[in-house]
Each structure stands twice: as C-alpha cells, then as structure tokens.
Chains A and B, each alone.
Chain A
Amino acid sequence: MVYYLNEIESKNLLKNLRPLTRKVGVSEDLRGWNWNRTPLSPYRPVLLPMYLICSNYCPTSRDLYLKRVEKRRGEWNHPLSLGKVIHDTVARAYTLAREGEFDVPFDDWYRMQRYEDYMKGNLPLIQTYARMVYDYILSQARSQFNVAMSSHPFSAKRDMLLASVPFLVEHTINGELLGCSSVLSIDCYDYLHNIIFDLKVGGNRDETHRLQPAGYALVFESIYEIPVDIGGTVYLWFQNNQLIARKDLFPIGDHLRSWWLEMRDRRAELVHEERDPGMPAECPPSCIYRSVCGV
C-alpha cells in the first residue's frame, strides 16, 4: 500500500472526499498562489522548515527555540533513527520503481548509507524493518506496472511506469514565498490523484499530523498554481515483525489552511523574538532534546 490507495480508500476518495471538496471548496484568500496577500503573507521574515512549523514534539515548542535560536543539535535516538531510515527506504524504493528497476538488491544500497556511523537505537532491527518496507514497495509497484502493461500492451514502458507509479517522492520545492525554507522535501505527491502525502513512522494518529500536508499543499500552490485539495498521512509501523500501513485521507480546507498559517506565524514569532518558551511539564520520551531539558 504505502502510497497506493486500497479499495476502501479509493471508494472513500471518490464517493466522499472528492465530492466534499468540490462542494465546499476553499476560500480564494487561502490558496497558496495568493502568498503575497493577507492572510498568507508571512508577518515575520523568518524561514522555517516544514517539520519545525508543524511538529508537536515539545508541548512548549522549546525544541524550535533550541534548534533555531540556540543552534543546538538534538541527539539521535531510536524513533528518530527508525524514522529517517524508513523515509530513505521508501524514497529509494519508489525511485527505483519509477525507473522500472524492480530487482535491485537492498543490502548493497543500505550498506552504502553507513547509518551505523551516526545513528543510535536497535540498528539491526531497523535494518530488518527497512528491508520489509523496501520489498513491499517494489513488489507492489511491480504488480501495478504489470497490470498497466497488460492493459495497454502497445504503450511505451516509460509511459506505463509514469502511470503505474505516479509518485514524486521527496519532491523538492521552494517554500520561501510562504515563510518556509528554500528547500522543502515533500514525502510524496501523487500526481494522478493530486494528493500530497506525508509519511509517519508509528501508529499514533494525531490531528496535528494533518498540518504538514496542508502546509505542503499551500507551498505547492504557491509555486505551481495548481489547487491541491486533498492530503494524506501514511502511518507505517511494525507489529510482531509485520509491516502495517494505514492512511488518513482528508480535505485540505479552510480550517487546516488557517490552522497551518497560525502555527507558522506563532513559530516564526518565537524565533524572531528569540524567546525561550520555557520547559514543558514533562518531556516527551522521544524528544531529541531530552538530554538538554530533561524534565
């Protein structure tokens, strides 16, 4: 599955989400191409990466202060390492699939990444999980490609690859118009369904996870001037050595867009004023600045 929609998700998209987005629509003022006008234009001249605008690691946003004001680096831990490796693996697998390379061995590529030089956590387990994801994606992409080729036997292979693996993964885009970093990397843009996906490693759903695709949709609209009305969060996690993938598909309407704008402005304000927001009541276990604050 990962970025492919299963049967239920497809039905939900076609029967619920698409009609809903057509009916309700989005306020013109909240389309990314109006980046130069209120309320989209940033209040402060601060450029932030998307994850720092949308993340909710620290309840007081002290992680943002430490990163951008005190310029401190967080420490690698198991969740962070797992997340990074799985993101890399998904991107690698889809890149190969888009080139029609379905049989490239996993281990050669993994070795070259030299993750063990800087990462912390249960690295052998992380490698096992990454291989599961890699095999899963390539086998599914191959299957989709075979279906496409058998349906259109006279089509060019490249054309069928573009249609059967319609995902721009780690798509780089400039977010400066909307107060984001100049180099943003969208986990996935499904160009046939016009959906922006964000990948989360872990199974805990959270409303705030919808912010990231909303932010990317706004940036996407600011650059390409194409409306993006649907986003998705893909949750990948592992249970009893089994890969589990679930999706949350949602409309990127006025509520999410204005919420994202509020978050962007709040975070930019904090950095601009160089204001320490203070310690949280309790540090989240997975926070990379736990050794700095340690509450």
Chain B
Amino acid sequence: MERLVVDGWGRFLGVEDGQIVVKERKGKSYSVICRSLPSDLRQVVIAGKGSLSSDAIDVLAHHGVDLIFLDWRGGVSARLSPPMLRTVNTRREQYRCYDTEKGAALAKAFIRAKMKNQMAVLGTYAKTRVQADPNTAEALRVARESIERIASELESVSGTACDAVRGTIMGMEGCATGVYWNAISKIVDESFGFNHRSGRYAGDPVNALLNYGYAILEGECWRAVHYAGLDPYGGFLHVDRPGRASMVYDLIEEFRQQVVDKSTLKLLSHRQIRTENFEVVDGVCRMDDATRRLVLSELLMKMDDRVRYKDKLWRWSDLILHQAREVAKFLRGESGKYEGFWLRW
C-alpha cells in the first residue's frame, strides 16, 4: 500500500506496535479496519471526519509520509510534511529566475504543454465520435485546429522576464481554454447543463466534478513542488498573491487534461454519475457523499495508475514529482531546458 485514504465518519488513525492502524467505531468499541507499515506508505489522505493521534503524526513524519486533509470540495485544508533538505539553493534560484528569460521560458512551457494536452484530448474524442456523431467529431476537430493555431502563435512570444510575457501568454491560454471547454461541452449530456467552465463556485454538476478533481490534483502537485524543494508560492505564470500557491498552479496546468478532465469525462460517459447526485446549496452545486467518494477513489486510483512517458513507465504521482524536480533542475541550471509534460492522445 502506498496511499492510505481515511474516508468516512468516526474513524481514528493511530499507532500500534509501530504500525499505522485505522480504527472504526462500532458501538462503544473500536475495531481495526486497516493496518500498514509506515515505511510502505507514501501519503495519507484524511477525507472524512475523523481523528488522529500525535503518535501517528510523529511516525508518519519520521518516515517521510505526506499527510493531507481534504475538505468537501476536495481542497487541501491542511497538510503536514516532513522538513525538507536542500531547498535554499533551489528557492534562491526560483526567486532570482522570476525576472529572467528562464522564468519567461518556464511560463511558456507550462502553457505549451497545457495546449498540447487540450489538443490531444479533443483529437482523441473527435476520433471516437467520427462514425457515430460526425457533426460533434467535426466540431472537436475544428476546436483542436484552433488551439493548434494559438499554440503556434505562442512560439513567437519571447521576453526577458515573466512580467513581460505573462499578459500575452495568459491571453492566449484564455482563448485556447475557451475553445476547449466550448468543444467539450458538446460531448457532455445536456441534462448536466454544462455550458462553460465556471471555476471556483460551480453552478452545475460538471463544474463541481472538475473543481473537486482539480483540488485533488492540486494536492498532488503541492506535494511534488514541496519535495522538489520549490517554494509553492513563487510562481512564474500565475501572479503572486497572498495565500495563492502560484507555483503549484503553474505545475498543475500540465496535468489538468490528462489526469482530471479525462477521468471526469470517463465517469460521465460511463453514466456512473447522474444529475440526481447533486444539489444546489446557496447557489453552489454540490455532489453527494457517494459521488464525492467515487471521484476521490477514481482520481487517487489514477494517481497510482501507470503512464508511459519518454520510454519509461511512470506512476502519475511520480511523474508529477519528476516534472517538479525538472523545474527545480532547470532553475538551478542543472539542465538547459524545461519541457512540460504532454501526450499526443
């Protein structure tokens, strides 16, 4: 076991004989439902209402295990990570590169990868539909071509600092993302009422699912950024703002489509999620507990799933960590180029 998810009510995470145990309350007593060696764990996710002992925190920290707490949106409400080594150098370079060509190149690399992944998703869905629904397939293909044009324009953007290129890059990103979601909305069942990406406050089930998925991905990217020795708040593409983990948001751009969008669309197309699983509370669309668990388990399974990239077989979470480390290597000058992650399909 590498990732332990403690989900549900009344569960307790503790230590017994050097092992991490999860206990569940039954009546007045607790029974052990899971037991694992801390050395086998990579991450512990607390997603429900439960409690944990300080012994457990100590043991997990000692073994370098990441401990995160998720809220109902999937957002990381708190995290505990062991102290890092070798971060000063990396962080110094991270801050210094912000005003250099390197910083601008990084900002561009994140969005280049994002656009290529958007193209891949659209191209794959277009091909899937070419026989059954040629009109939709054509719309997807045309959208893919539009993004390709924007991506080729992106190549001509150059600058000597992040501030010099950010506006242009974000403008292009906005265009591409608009085209992408407009095309994706054509393959989502109309009953979900999905017309556009609404961001933080979901107005419809698809946006609620995406927000939850991105929040889980954010947790994974945060972990990667932290372990790579980078400052999560020192971004290149996303502007500095108090409390905003801009570096995490930068890295997340490469992975949104392949990790979250595809998983979400798969759940929708397999009809594992229905409109009745959602309710609108104070204008925000929320999913029920069963759906939340389903999405969480789908995405955590995805993180442990394997992907073939650059002739290697990666676990998604390892690949995210690898990319964060590549950013750090690039900033420290140990590599001459940073290439964002993208797949062709």
Contact = CB atoms under 8 A, between A and B. Distances in A.
Do A and B form a real pair?
yes
Interface of A: 20, 23-27, 29-30, 38-39, 41, 43, 251, 253-255, 258-259, 261-262, 265
A254 B127 contact: no
A255 B126 contact: no
Interface string B300-333: 0000000011111100000000000000000000
Contacts of A255: 308-311, 344
Interface in B111-128: 123-124, 126-128
A24 B311 contact: yes
A38 B128 contact: yes
B311 A258 contact: no
A41 B311 contact: no
Given A24-B312, A29-B345, 15 more contacts: A25-B308, A38-B127, A39-B124, A39-B127, A41-B127, A43-B126, A43-B127, A43-B130, A251-B311, A255-B309, A255-B310, A258-B344, A261-B345, A262-B123, A262-B344
A280 to B, nearest CB: 15
A20 B126 CA distance: 32
B343 A265 contact: no
Contacts of A253: 308, 311
B139 to A, nearest CB: 13
A41 B130 contact: yes
A25 B313 contact: yes
A26 B345 CA distance: 14
A265 B344 CA distance: 12
A30 B308 CA distance: 11
B344 A261 contact: yes
Contact of A26 (B127, B141, B308): B308
16 contacts: A24-B312, A26-B308, A29-B345, A30-B345, A38-B128, A39-B124, A41-B127, A43-B127, A43-B141, A251-B311, A253-B308, A254-B309, A255-B308, A255-B344, A258-B343, A261-B344
A99 to B, nearest CB: 39
A253 B130 CA distance: 26
B79 to A, nearest CB: 32
A118 B310 CA distance: 44
B122 to A, nearest CB: 12
B345 A39 contact: yes
A23 B313 contact: yes
B311 A20 contact: yes
Contacts of B311: 20, 24, 251, 253, 255
A196 B284 CA distance: 57
Contacts of B130: 41, 43
A254 B314 CA distance: 13
A39 B130 CA distance: 11
A25 B309 CA distance: 11
A29 B345 CA distance: 10
8 smallest A-B Cβ distances: which pairs? Answer: A258-B344, A254-B308, A38-B128, A39-B345, A38-B127, A24-B313, A258-B345, A262-B344
A27 B345 CA distance: 11
Contacts of B137: 43
Contact of A24 (B124, B308, B345): B308
B314 to A, nearest CB: 10
A285 to B, nearest CB: 26
A24 B306 CA distance: 10
Contacts of A29: 345
A6 to B, nearest CB: 23
A104 B278 CA distance: 80
A43 B141 CA distance: 10
Nearest to A29: B345
A200 B137 CA distance: 38
A265 B127 CA distance: 10
Interface string B86-122: 0000000000000000000000000000000000000
A20 B130 CA distance: 35
A14 to B, nearest CB: 17
A114 to B, nearest CB: 44
Interface string B127-138: 110100000010
A255 B126 CA distance: 20
